[in-house]
Structure formats: structure tokens, C-alpha cells
Chains A and B, each alone.
Chain A
Amino acid sequence: MPNHTFTVNGKKVTVDVEDDVRLLWVLRDVLKIHGPKYGCGIGVCRACTCHLNGKAFNPCVTPVKDILPTDEVTTIEGLAPSIGKAIHPMQQAWLDVDVAQCGYCQPGQIMQAVDLVKTVQREKRQVTENDLDQIRNVCRCGTYPRIREAIKKGEAAMPVLQVTKPKKRKAKKKKPVARKPAPSKRKSAVELPQSAE
């Protein structure tokens, strides 16, 4: 089976799995990262929403072969660490509004919300009702009104972005340069020595 190497939540991983297996199953079944949820497997419900290099995507419809060694996948577990915080302002907004009911869809909702705010910030504008109407994430508990409220709160609390996620991570990692011989990498470590990332 082919190897696939990429970064998940700041950690380099290598998995031995067929090219066409969708990333969701690599995350959940192989890497045991369970924050992204299965809700449909065809990119409809968005419960699995994660970020690829800071942009929202659905791992259930993304073959693992599409993920490059330089790619950074962020799941809900890595969202707060990706900005060097214990909790992300959007997660805090979710708590403040008490959005969740069963909670199954919420990791995906939060990842989508962060992406939406970053998108409108890039467009130098604010989240509109129309933006909220376009969110496709399903919540069968019907928390939609509180999701809308939390996104507006989270937007207000999210710093207008100047710092992209990869930059932050690098900045953090640069300090412990000594932490080079990390686990799990065998044969590849020999090749291509590279700047400490």
C-alpha cells in the first residue's frame, strides 16, 4: 500500500493506505482522530468539515492521494492550537450562545463558521444574513438560529486576519528546534533534509 504523508493538527503523519480512500476514513479509522463526523459520506451534510491549509473542505469526498506532503489538515481538535490558543473565539462564541444540543454536527459547523468569517474578512466585509442562509451544514436538532447568533459573536471576536495559520504554526515551532527526531518516521527521514518546520 502506498504511503501518504501530510500534517494533521501540526503533527506530521504518514499513513499506509490506498490512494482512493477518502481522507475522512484516514482521519477516523486509521489515525483515530474522531472530531470530524460522518453524516453522509457524499459531501452534503458537512459534519466532517475540516480545514486544508486554512480553508474549509470535506474530507469525506477528498481522496487521501490529493493531500500533499506540504498540506496542513486542521480538524476541530487542532482549531484552537492552530492560532496558539486554548480555545478559538468561534468555539467560545458557541459556548456563550450554548449552541449545541446533541453536538454531533457542531465540529463541522464551527469549522465552517471560521472559514466563513475568514472569507468575508478577506473580502473586507461582514457576515450577512445571506451568507448565513448559504451555509449547508445540516443540524437535525435544529440549532440553526443559535448557530447564526454564534457566528456573529465569533466574527466580532475573531481578529481581522493578517496571520495565516501555517505562519503561526511555524512561528511556534521554530523555538523548539531541538525537537527534531520525532516519532513514526522511518525511511523518509533520510531523504530531503529541510528547514525545521
Chain B
Amino acid sequence: MKHSDRPQDGEPRHDAGAPDEAPQDATTSSDEHAPDGKQISRRRMVGYLLAAPTLVAAARFMPAEKAAAEGIPAPNIADLFDLSDVLNAAAAPTYGLLAITIDKQGNANFQLPRSENGQGITTAFTMIIADEMDLPMSRVKVTLMPAEPKLLFNQLTAGSSSVFTLYEPVRRAAAVARTQLMRTAARELGVPARDLTLKDGVFTASHGGSMGFGALTEKAAVKRMIEFQPKLKKAADQKLIGTEQKRVDALDIVMGRKTFTMDLAPAGADPTMICRPPTLNASAKAIQNKAAVLKMPGVTHVLLVPHSDDVQGGVAVVARTFGQCIDAIRALKVTWSKGSIAGRTEQSIKADLAKAELPMTPALGKVIEETFTFNFRSGSALETNCAVADVRKDKAEIWAPLKSPQWAQGKIAELLKLNIESVKVNVMDGGGSFGRRLFCDGAFEAAVISRSIGKPVKLMWHRADDARHGRHHPLTTSKVRITTGGGAVLQYDQRHTAVPTDFTQGLGDYLTAAETRLPLQNFAQFSQTVFYTTANVPYNFGVVTQLLNEIDAFNTFNTSSVRNVYSPDVATATELMVDRVAKEFGRDPMEFRLAFAKDQRMKDVLNAVKKAGNWGRAMAPGTAQGIAMRNEYKGRTACLVEIDCTPATVNRKIRQAVTGPRVTKLVFAIDVGIPINPLGLKAQVMGGAMDGIAQALTYSHHLKNENFVEASWDNSAYTRQWNTPPVVEIIVMPQTTDVAGGAGEAAVGTTMAAVACAYGRAMGKMPTEFPINHNSPLHFEPYPASPPVPEVPADGLERAGIKRPSAKKKRATRKKKRTTARKPAAKTPSKTTKK
């Protein structure tokens, strides 16, 4: 398929299948905020006042836009209609339920139908509402909404889409609230509205009278739903959008008060863990020593949890403490069935991929071709999979960090044979997600165990299980062929072949997710959709084809849309080949990119890093700069890194660490359209960049004996401080469009590609397998697969350098000096002392 040459204006129109013919409505004209009038047609929204005792304002799109997947046509449509659009279209019909409630204290309350895992969306929406309503951020309360089936698709947190999707409707609702409050204040104070000034939630009339939101809210409330057309604030009047704001939960975090799922302590919910199989997706058949394990200290329940598509299962243990669960798991003797990849090895899977690769189209010109391999890497967050479940006879309540809460709710209702209304699913703040929490592995297990034992449970995965049995970025190969002639690139072909990415959470909705499990539907509906809407080549490279093929079923491996999904691999393969073509043409990599970049926004980010990163400066042997760029999530990114591959650096020794080449400097420029909160945006870029560095240099999992060998953070060599670039500079480009593009994933692929390119230039040889150390000897002695969790060390004091005798003596002498009435209690290891 030929790439369209038309300029990208930052707001690609979905002339590739989505409806343009939706009827106009009255509110369009009131939306004076859009500069070009072009994009308004996608943003027809009406505001509402909802009947309630206090003021409740809402907004929704008028015409329900067509559901996403069916509108996806042929390859290379990412330029026209990208993943952000798919998720936006999917969310569109249900915005009406996004409501802002003004309480009697004058606070604006908003339940965000999304999951917060560190990406900063609660902060961004606090800013958006505060700005539109002229309230201090401290008086906007954004919480996470429990699963709400009426929202249909609109509760999925994925594809870096949250801000992009919800920015307009939330602003609209806030504007409705502000306008109604202003009318009410004008009435109450007996002045025309234009005579009022609004500051920090208080209207003041020129005659001096004033009223705050809290006093106005009941008077502003309505008795029946009223359609409302608010005027949005002009960009020039926005005070918070575009300013650097710190996270709203930062204080709770640093004080240790932020509540994660495992910090809940509902009465009777005891620690619960699962003894998992020695091979992937095997099922527990029998417990050989149940009675003995039940006698272990603290242990109250031992039960078999059968494996299914939804519940990985194994043998569950309930105990007084998680520590005692771990001891019990190590003691269990379990008979297991065969797993899902019996008889296969990493090599055999790679051979399967090679066989499944789709053929290239015929080339007419000089051809450069290479195949790249991208190994499995874990999507584990620091907080392992977890959930609290309280299942009673006729109802269930679940607490978990979930990005697809509606799917969780429907599936749990199905597993427990309950009505969906009887299942309450609470969305907790997550300790990181990176795509992992699209699936509800912990929640499903917790629900069935709670049902089995008839009491609430607090279920947590062990780190080793999270690493081995958790969700992975799938093993992938990517063949790139570039055809050149006459100093131009005539053709670009990419064939991506992969273990399937499990998309069976669908778009977060229970019904969609069920359909994706039908034969081939995971691939047909989602893998292809996501691939075609994210893969693109941001260069004028003539005829472009990018195709995906997958092997196996969705549940052969445990995979998910790990941060940035296909893009790190797509981008890395592309950018390495771009370097190669540039070399072929005898051109500088930066200059080549600037010449072939498709649009000005892309050139602008390139120029930004070129200048800030001092591209082309003289580099010592064994070190090099690398550059990469990417067009995704409605934004443009460019990354320039410097890497040090000299022996002194590569061979530096840190205990149980993968050191290797080090990125010594990283300069990143991002244009997201509207940068709502540049500080939060930089944080997301920084995090994505650390991810990209890991995926290029150190981070992969190895398949041996039908399981992954890595079982700890020292085994899985994710970026650590010793891999962190000492110099990181992130440039947020000034606003370029009227769309708030995605941030959460945008930096991963670009950084990975830049590091790969820098490594290739420093070593004088293009790397073709990632991470670059995947085939080196393991840097650790693997923990056994059975028992599934490692022995718990008991030498914490020794590790900390706390030497008892001398420490005690020192303390004793110190104390003696200071305290006169000192008793010798310190020296007697008595279990009881005075306070």
C-alpha cells in the first residue's frame, strides 16, 4: 500500500474508515477553541446539568462514533488513524457519564474511569478541572472509578490514550459546572454575570459581594437533566494547562501513606499465595502432603486451584502472614500436568517464527535486508499481581489495580456464577503497570479462592512467579528490507513475526473480550489492529508494507500489551536499517533523517535533540552517538544518546549486576500536541527511556525447561542505577496541535532504537538480536523451578553490615555516657523488657 504524501497536520483525520458524515449539532459552533475548525467535527460534545441535590455537570459526544475495530482497513494506516483514534472511538459513546460533582465544601469531585499506575493521570485531570473551573488544585478530588458496566468501552487504560481521550469531555463538564455556578452567583448577588470575577472558587461582584462554590452548589443544582452549551476557556486564559505541576499523591507517597491493594486490611482477609507449576501453564493435579503443610505454623488453608484460561492457579495457601505462605509453598509436594509449551525450547520457537514469516513483495532495485530478533521480556511491575476478594454467597467485592475493570467484573461474575450487579470491582492505585494490569490474573484467582474457602482473602503473587508466570512482551522477529535506487529509498518492507500478544482483555469490556477468544479472533481483531495502527515508518520511503504474523494461540504464553506493545521492536529494526541506508548513501545519520522525515514536527524534534545533544561532536573510540525518531500516539519523538562501550566501562564490576555498555547521556525531545503537565510528561519520558535502555542492552528472559529461568530483580536485568545515564535532558516542545497526545509509552521504542543505533556505531557492527547480551552466559545461578519460590535468606543484619556484638557495645557505652539511671537490659536477650 502506498503511503499518502499529504502533509500531516498533527491531527490525522480518520478518512480511513471512520465516520466523517456524523451530523453536526448546535454545540459545534460554540467550540471556538479549535483553531482550524477541522477537528471540531470529531469533538462534537454537549454539556449537561444532571438532576442531583448539588451541582453535577457532565459532558458527552453527541453522535456515537462507530466502534473501533471494524473501521480498520489495510496496512500502513497509522498515519491516518492510529491506536489513539481506535481507543478514542471506542470510548466515545459513553462520555455522558463523566460527571463532576460540586460538594458543599466547594470541592469539585470527579471519578476517573481509568487506572492510575504512576503515569500521572490523576494529576493531569486535577489540573484540567482546576484550570477550567478556576479552583485551586487542592480542591479538586480525582478518584478512580469502580467498574461500571454502563460505561461500555470507556474504562480501559491502554495505548497511552487516557489524556487524549478524556481531555475534551472532562474540560467540557468542568466548563458546564463553572458556567452554571456563575449564573447562579449572578442571580444570588444581583449582578450581571459579566460583573463577576472568579478566583479560587469564589465569585466576587464589583460591588464587593462574594460567594464561593460551596455556598452556590445547592442553589445551582437542577431537578431534571438539562442540555447545556458552555463556552470553554480560551487557551490564553488557561493558567494551569501547560505548567509544571507535581503529582497530587506525592506527599502520601513520600510519607509512606499511599494505599496500594496489599495495604488494605479488611477484617478476616488473610494472606494468600499460590504454589505455581514448574512449567508454564501447567495444572495442579494433586497435593501429596496437604495434611503436613496444614500443620505448619500460621497455615489455615491449603487448596487446589485448577488451571484455566482465566485462572492460572496451582495450590493456594492461606496463612497468618505472607512469610508463612512462602514457607508452605516451599514445603508443598504437588503433582502437575504438562504445561502449554511441553517439548518446546527457545530455539524451536525461534524456528517456528522463521517458518511463519510472511513473504516479501518483489523488489525492483538494490536491496538491503536484515532480520532482527527481540527476546521475551517481562512486563512485571514492582507491585506483583495482587487482589483482595470478599466473596459471599450472593455477592462479591474485589479490590485490585485493574486497567480493564469491566472485564474483571464480568468475568468474575461468570466464574462465581453471580449476577454482574452483585460483583463490585474497586480500582486501586497500582504499583506500576506497563501493560501488565490489563489482565486481572490476581483478581480472578482471589475471587475463586475466596469463594472456595468462604472467607475474604488477600492474594499476592510471589516475585518469582510474577517474573516467570507473569505477562511478557512476546518473542518477536522483524525482517526489514529496504530497496534503493537513484539516491532515494524506493520501497520499505517489514515483516514482523511474533508469539501472540494476548489481547483477550479486548477493549476492556467483557463482551468484546469474550469474542477475542474465538479461534483466530485475538489475531484478527486485535493483534492486527494494534500492529497496523501503531506500526509506521516516519520517513518518505516510497512504497511501504508492514505486516504481522503470529504463531500459537493467545494463551500458549502469558503475554500482554507490555508498554509500547509492538513499537520498540518495530522502531529498533527500522532505525538500525535507516542508519545502514544512510551509511550506504554516505550520509550522516542525522542529516539523512532530517532529509527523509515526513513532516515538520518530526524535523523539529530532531533539530531539538541535535542542538541540545551536540550531534556530531568528536567521540572517543568505543563510544558513539545514536539517533532515532518516532511518530506515535499523536506525537513526535526524537532521542539522541551517547554510549560508552569501552572495556573499562563494559567490564566494570558491581555485585550481581549486569553492567556492560553504558548510556552516558540521553537527550530526548517530545512533541505531544498539547503538553498538559510538562513535569509529568518528562517523568513519563524518563521512565519510558529507562525501559528502552533495558530492552536494548540488558533486559530479557530466557526459556529453559519450559519455564523462564529469571525469578528475581537481580536475575531480570531491568535498568538499575548502574545503568542509568548520568546525564538526562528532556525537551518538551511547545504546543503544536490541539490534541493532547499520549505520553506513557512514547519514549520506549524511540530510546531503545537510539541506544541500539549508538551501540552499532560504537562497535562498528549493527546488532541484530536484543537485548544485546541475550546470548551471553547467564550472569546468575538460576533458582530451581521447584519449589517455585526461592529460599528466603535470613541474614538481613549481616547484609546490612549490622554487627551485633560491637554494635551493642557501642550503643551501651554511648548510652552509659548519656543516661545515668541505665539498667543492663540491653545485654540480656530477654524477650520482655520495660518500655
Contacts and interface: CB of A to CB of B under 8 A. Distances in A.
A53 B811 contact: yes
B321 A193 contact: no
B721 A142 contact: no
Contacts of A28: 262, 321-322
B582 interface: no
Interface string A22-44: 11111011101011111111111
B-side interface mostly: loop
Nearest to A104: B431
Contacts of B431: 37, 102-105
A162 interface: no
A61 interface: yes
Interface stretch (B105-113, B362-370, B548-556, B786-794): B786-794
B326 A41 contact: yes
B689 A134 contact: no
Contacts of B265: 32, 34
B833 A69 contact: yes
Interface in B762-821: 789-790, 792-797, 799-802, 807-808, 811, 814, 818-819, 821
Interface string A65-105: 01011100001110110000001000100110010111111
Nearest to A183: B835
B374 interface: no
A60 interface: yes
A37 B823 CA distance: 36
A110 B119 CA distance: 20
B321 A106 contact: no
Q: Among A23, A44, A167, find the residue whose CB has the most chain B CB atoms closer than 10 A.
A: A44
Interface string A42-68: 111101000011011111111100101
A137 B724 CA distance: 13
A100 B250 contact: yes
A14 to B, nearest CB: 7
Contacts of A170: 818-819
Contacts of B834: 188-189, 191-194, 197
Contacts of A17: 320-321
Contact of A187 (B382, B808, B830, B832): B832
Given A32-B265, A140-B382, A195-B821, A134 B722 contact: yes
Contacts of B832: 3, 5, 14, 69, 187-188, 191-192
Q: Among B247, B684, B800, find the residue whose CB has the most chain A CB atoms closer than 10 A.
A: B800
Given A76-B255, A101-B687, A69 B831 contact: yes
Interface in A97-122: 98, 100-107, 110
Given A56-B800, A98-B679, A145 B259 contact: no
Contact of A102 (B257, B380, B383, B462): B383
Nearest to A191: B832
A52 B460 contact: no
Q: Among B246, B792, B795, find the residue whose CB has the most chain A CB atoms closer than 10 A.
A: B792
Contact of A29 (B250, B320, B383, B796): B320
A40 B712 contact: yes
Nearest to B830: A69
Contact of A44 (B691, B712, B822): B712
A136 interface: yes
Q: Among B254, B324, B801, B814, find the residue whose CB has the most chain A CB atoms closer than 10 A.
A: B254
Given A138-B718, A192-B823, A101 B120 contact: yes
A94 B250 contact: yes
B618 interface: no
B128 interface: no
Nearest to A21: B323
Nearest to A91: B254
Given A39-B382, A192-B823, A20 B794 contact: yes
Contacts of B462: 41
B686 A142 contact: yes
A153 interface: no
A4 B831 contact: yes
B322 A3 contact: no
A22 B323 contact: yes
Which 4 residue pairs of A and B lie closest in terms of their CB atoms, listed nearest first?
A35-B256, A142-B690, A102-B118, A62-B796
30 contacts: A14-B832, A17-B320, A18-B297, A29-B322, A34-B262, A34-B263, A37-B382, A44-B712, A44-B714, A52-B800, A57-B800, A68-B808, A68-B826, A75-B256, A94-B254, A95-B250, A95-B254, A100-B249, A103-B118, A104-B381, A104-B383, A107-B256, A134-B654, A136-B720, A143-B683, A144-B724, A147-B721, A148-B726, A192-B832, A195-B819
